[in-house]
Structure 1
């Protein structure tokens, strides 16, 4: 029986455990935290996942998609508030009828995945066991037990799924020709999720957002009557407006009165008393495969900014791509599996990571320009842009509602940009000619 060691029992680690458990491999998952099942939901440090087509295809593969959909909330519409303006109801930019984004609590999904993985007799979870590093000398995984003792463990395949601050990745930094880059964005986040009795002001199945200069507040109603409230803001905004719990209460009272009235002063005060804004990191790696047996996966390989919702989707798809390549190479040739996975996935995920960063840059620009009124020409350009987006779906729409390779999406987007530029230029020339004729 082949064996796989998985460093990290988060979402990607658990999906991999399900995949390999289903194949009958001997699977051991090392997770530094305790078993999340039965524990209170983590507060202040998380927000709902937005699962698109890639994630849902992966969940379908392991047989739990229907259960996940029952737990989550399908989103097809959003209501956006900008500054003090009335909220505008819009449909999400979908590729086809029936598409939706599924929003779900991260911890609840994790618990379901653990339960599914443990249903296979060959899968074992070792909670409170931290994978410290990959020993490049003996080609084994070094694991620390709860009592502080350390042991080297080995498997036919080793998957590092231990998150954006991966200790396994850190142990590879001296590996020749392995380049690694990380950068933090200027926006942090706070989770103010709460269980409440009455959310009649907000409806199930709608993504609510409020935008002010340098700030985005997102609210989602969950099936279990919890309300997910996520505050994203520039760290300067946090420092100026939320430096004390009292200031935070006044900030919500002044700028987000509806949410303030729902979640209440005490909850805001307590949350900002106990937690600090969390940083958001982006990670790029020059390759994902090492030593013919070790793979970086999920955030350990490509941590992404959350603003376009592709991080979890990309991580889930990692697991599916690995299985698809395994079907091609066969279980007798793991060396080819590691090599091909790294070749295929590194380029694609790095392109998606770049898309996310570009989306963040555009988001920052939009937040800074909320108060600027558009002239008539800019308004016409904006209307034309919206029309063109119907003919040429954005790269993020293609990423969210298809499994098209990110590299192919980038290529199509570049072609679409050139065509759109031609149309806009032609449109501008026509307007100038008409204006000139009127003046004459």
Structure 2
């Protein structure tokens, strides 16, 4: 059987290991970190994954979807809080009745995927081994061992899944006609997840959010009696309000009293004394396939902003799309596999990247004017949005609850926008005509 080398043993790397392991390939995964199954859950640097239809279809293909659903929490509703007002309960705009977003801890899912991958005897994980470079001349992968020595390894197919700051991708930057871009958004995040004794104020299965000027706080209750709390804020807000642990405590006391009462002063003080706000990066590549044997996948190919929850979903779908193309081309068509995958996936993921950035721009506007998102006007707008979603599902709805290609979602959204603009123009013309007729009637009198 052919062999596949996977650089990076995170979520996308582990999903690929499961899928290729099931197909009988000889799989070797190189991961720079230690085995996560021996580590405590990380704090301060991550937030829950939001798995939609794309990710769940991939997990179903692997055969662990039911186990993942039991670990996670299905979300169909959200409660938005503004300043001192009561929270507003809303249903997510679903594509069909049975849809939901599954929230789950990243590290727990990673452990389950590694366990599943290693259930195949042909899959090997080499923890503490960092893939550092692809040598174009000898067509081999360079790997740094735990003792610092360099080894070269060879495989029929190489999958680069080593994240947004991929070292393998960096070694490809001199490749002709390969364009790469990255940009950071102005919003950072802090994770304040904590075990909890009593959360009677918050319920399982609801996405809670609090909006203040320049700030969004999100809270989710997990099945294991932990509370995931993620603070998203402009870096200037962090600098002005959370420059010291003491200031951070006061900031939570003033603006997020309910969350403060649940997680406590000690945890807030500890988190902000030990961790700094994490930056969020967006990455795009002009192509994902190289040398007829190497593919960039997941964040290494298309790191996305997290505000529409498509990063992990898109990465998981990368793996499924690759398997679907492999079924068509067969093991003897690796050259065709790499070319087809790059052609299909590059444009789609860049489209999603663009959608995520547009969503971020809108989010920043809403964060600066949080009051504008609520009140009677918002209720009317929300009601209209739900009605329109039946005929014209939003970009988020289609992305989250279907496997519609991202490029097709963009096309449909553009058509819907044109239709809505034509409706607005028609109403405007009708109003002008009515006003003109009223003026004429008044002038005739």
TM-score of the pair, normalised by structure 1: 0.97
Bigger mean CA deviation after superposition, 97-106 or 421-430: 421-430
Corresponding residue number in structure 1 for 2:151: 151
SS of residue matched to 2:283? strand
Deviation at 1:38, TM superposition (A): 2.9
Corresponding residue number in structure 2 for 1:27: 27
Deviation at 1:376, TM superposition (A): 9.2
Deviation at 1:366, TM superposition (A): 1.1
Corresponding residue number in structure 2 for 1:207: 207
Deviation at 1:431, TM superposition (A): 3.8
List gaps (5 residues or longer) in structure 2: none
Deviation at 1:245, TM superposition (A): 0.4
Deviation at 1:297, TM superposition (A): 0.2
Q: Is the Cα contact below 8 Å between 2:366 and 2:373 reproduced in 1?
A: no
Corresponding residue number in structure 2 for 1:284: 284
Check 1:241–1:27 CA distance in 2 against 1; reply closer, same or farther (3 A cut): same
Corresponding residue number in structure 1 for 2:196: 196
- 1:348-392 Cα offsets, whole Å, 9 max, x none, are 000011000000001111111223599999986676455323321
Check 1:58–1:387 CA distance in 2 against 1; reply closer, same or farther (3 A cut): same
Corresponding residue number in structure 2 for 1:427: 427
Corresponding residue number in structure 2 for 1:59: 59
Corresponding residue number in structure 2 for 1:256: 256
Corresponding residue number in structure 2 for 1:404: 404
Corresponding residue number in structure 1 for 2:336: 336
Corresponding residue number in structure 2 for 1:365: 365
* Distance (Å, rounded) in 2 between the aligned partners of 1:381 and 1:46: 33
The answer as to 2:295 corresponding to 1:298 is no
Bigger mean CA deviation after superposition, 36-45 or 371-380: 371-380
Bigger mean CA deviation after superposition, 389-398 or 413-422: 389-398
* Distance (Å, rounded) in 1 between the aligned partners of 2:173 and 2:100: 39
Deviation at 1:433, TM superposition (A): 4.3
Q: Is the Cα contact below 8 Å between 2:194 and 2:263 reproduced in 1?
A: yes
* Distance (Å, rounded) in 1 between the aligned partners of 2:311 and 2:219: 19
* Distance (Å, rounded) in 2 between the aligned partners of 1:80 and 1:350: 30
SS of residue matched to 1:220? strand
Deviation at 1:52, TM superposition (A): 0.2
- 1:169-199 Cα offsets, whole Å, 9 max, x none, are 0000000000000000000000000001111
Q: Is the Cα contact below 8 Å between 2:47 and 2:191 reproduced in 1?
A: yes
Which stretches of structure 1, 4 residues or longer, exceed 6 Å deviation after superposition? 373-382
Q: Is the Cα contact below 8 Å between 1:388 and 1:420 reproduced in 2?
A: no
List gaps (5 residues or longer) in structure 1: none
Check 1:167–1:377 CA distance in 2 against 1; reply closer, same or farther (3 A cut): closer
1:36-115 aligned within 5 A: 36-115=36-115
Check 1:419–1:168 CA distance in 2 against 1; reply closer, same or farther (3 A cut): same
